[in-house]
Amino acid sequence: MEIRWFRSHTSDVVHLYQEQQELPGRQMEAFRNRTKLVKDYIAYGSVILQLHSVVPSDEGMYGCRFLSNNFSGEALWELEVAGLGSDPHLSLEGFKEGGIQLRLRSSGWYPKPKAQWRDHQGQCLPPEFEAIVWDTQGLFSLETSVVVREGAFSNVSLSIQNLLLNQKKEFVVQIADVFSPGASPWKGAFVGALAALLAVLAGLALGVLQQRRRCQEKLKKEAEKREGERGQGALHPPPEVPPAVQ
């Protein structure tokens, strides 16, 4: 009996089982050490081939053929590969063009994903920038950014969808109105309080410096006075006492 798994042609061997032996030497190089034949129900005409470490290049047409002394059969099917990418990484880039720029990156998608920004009302936000590129493993990496302008501040969401799996990953970020680049009473109050705080700190720093300078001058004068006293003692030694008269 022979069980042959193959790609579009029978000569393109994915896995071969022949005369109760598996023949890995007949496999295509791309499938070596990646297949496992499950033979638990082979007596009932049922086998399973497991394919590990799936990559996008694995998708396409496959076939399986049974051959024995009294039976032969063949089946063909198409294998589809799908990858649900990594969790999105979001960064706040700062103020730009009267709004706040958000940038998001995600990798490991297959096939090419679809991204959509939305505001807190569910309305679509046009991306400022979007790039979807292939990586070295044949998967897709996504990078997209949007500028959220005043009036849309609140919940902003981005959904990345895998159309083949009909699954998506969604990321929601809350942007407070206080971060709006436009004028606001909160922003003015914050700036005023910051200026007052800086003025107080500058006054305290100046007072500390002046006090330190006065202390240094006082110490210098005391040192000079001590030096002068020592000098006078050396120039005028005490008078000698005359010897006692017998």
pLDDT (tens digit per residue) in 105-138 = 999 999 999 999 998 888 899 999 999 999 988 9
pLDDT for 58 beyond 60: yes
- Kindly report the number of other CB atoms within 10 A of residue 55's CB atom: 14
Which of the two residues, 85 and 205, has the higher pLDDT score?
Answer: 85
* Across 196-224, average pLDDT: 71
E strand intervals along the chain: 2-6, 13-18, 21-22, 35-38, 48-51, 60-67, 72-79, 89-96, 99-109, 114-118, 124-125, 129-134, 140-149, 155-162, 167-174
pLDDT for 245 beyond 80: no
Residues 159-180: pLDDT tens digits?
999 999 999 998 888 876 545 5
Residues 60-108: pLDDT tens digits?
999 999 998 888 899 999 999 999 998 888 888 877 777 888 999 999 9
State the residue for tokens 């990798």.
107
Closest of 134, 165, 164 to residue 57, by C-alpha: 134
Please report the domains of the chain, with CATH numbers, ordered by start residue. Answer: 2-79 (2.60.40.10), 89-179 (2.60.40.10)
Which of helix, strand or coil describes residue 25? helix
Give the Å distances, CA to CA, from 180 to 32, 91, 146, 147. Answer: 57, 17, 15, 12
Q: Which uninterrupted H or E stretch holds 69?
A: none
Which pLDDT belongs to residue 198?
67
Tokens found for residue 208? 């500390």
Taking the C-alpha atoms of residue 106 and residue 89, their distance in angstroms, rounded to an integer, is: 6
How many residues make up the chain in this entry?
Answer: 246
Taking the C-alpha atoms of residue 44 and residue 36, their distance in angstroms, rounded to an integer, is: 19
Which of the two residues, 131 and 203, has the higher pLDDT score?
Answer: 131
